[in-house]
Amino acid sequence: MTEKTLEGRIALVTGASRGIGRAAAIALADAGAHVVAVARTQGGLEDLDDELKARTGQGATLVPLDIAEGDGLDQLGLAIHQRFGRLDILVHAAAILGGISPVSHVDPKNWDRVVAINLTASYRLIRSTERLLRQSQKPRAIFLTSGRVARPKAFWGPYGATKAALEHLVRTWADELENTPIRAALVDPGAMRTKMRAEAMPGEDPLTLPEPAEIGPLIVELADADLGLPHQTVDFQAWKASHRVLSA
């Protein structure tokens, strides 16, 4: 049985209907948090809700929302304030790849969509939730990034560029809040068995990659950790290897 280290905490998770976002939502709920689950697909959210009820006896607060809609994120912040009065944990996992192509071949509409979801929505989410996080006794904000920031690679331009901008944004925000209880973390999950990875690497054997569920314990750990400023990105693969050694 999972230890209820996050009992009574309110956790907002974006991209919660699948992949890493879903894994984070499940892990946080198993640890006792009430999850506010955000995703575009109602069906995916309902499937998550069913699983959480089966695992914990309690469902999630479901928010079908395209995070590219900034006004929707503003309304989300207001709704959380009205219902809970605070936010303890933010996990921003939603992102899109935007296809794999040379930079000069990227369609402008596709570029705008990648920027809207991977970058602008992150700013709007921070803007909408900072006041809520300030009401928490131990507020934590966790943002999923990518190894493409440190290791640029051909054809990954829009995705890598927006993740690099996300990292700069989060580190700037964290520095601004150094004298508050709010602490942020950037997490690089590495290659995982997700739909996005399959889109980027269609010839890869997914069975060689870790399941998204494996990152759940790290998300829970960071949600309750005494974090400093996010000068370094948390590398999930390194974290996993170190925990494997400790448990051996």
Q: Tell me the per-residue pLDDT of 146-186, one tens digit each, with 9 for 90 and over.
A: 999 999 999 999 999 999 999 999 999 999 999 999 999 99
pLDDT at residue 201 in the model? 81
Residue 248: pLDDT band (50, 70, 90) is very low
Taking the C-alpha atoms of residue 54 and residue 79, their distance in angstroms, rounded to an integer, is: 26
Asked if residue 13 has pLDDT above 60, the reply is: yes
Asked if residue 202 has pLDDT above 50, the reply is: yes
pLDDT at residue 3 in the model? 85
pLDDT at residue 199 in the model? 83
Find the DSSP H helices in the chain: 19-30, 42-56, 70-83, 108-115, 121-134, 157-176, 195-200, 216-223, 236-247
Provide the 8-state DSSP code for 120: I
Residue 15: pLDDT band (50, 70, 90) is very high
Q: Closest Cα to residue 168, out of 149, 190, 181, 140?
A: 149
Q: What is the mean pLDDT of residues 126-147?
A: 98
Residue 83: pLDDT band (50, 70, 90) is very high
pLDDT at residue 200 in the model? 77
- The residues assigned a catalytic role are 159
Q: pLDDT tens, 51-77? A: 999 999 999 999 999 999 999 999 999
Q: Which amino acid is at 102?
A: P
pLDDT at residue 205 in the model? 87
pLDDT at residue 9 in the model? 98
Asked if residue 206 has pLDDT above 80, the reply is: yes
pLDDT at residue 30 in the model? 98
Phi then psi dihedrals of residue 239, to 5 deg: -60, -45
Q: pLDDT tens, 101-127? A: 999 999 999 999 999 999 999 999 999
Residue 214: pLDDT band (50, 70, 90) is very high
Contact yes or no for 196/97 (Cβ under 8 A): yes
Q: What is the mean pLDDT of residues 86-115?
A: 96
Q: What is the mean pLDDT of the chain?
A: 94
- Percent pLDDT > 70 in the chain is 98
Domains of the chain, each with CATH number or no CATH: 10-247 (3.40.50.720)
Provide the whole-model pTM: 0.94
Maximum distance among all Cα pairs of the chain, rounded to whole angstroms: 51
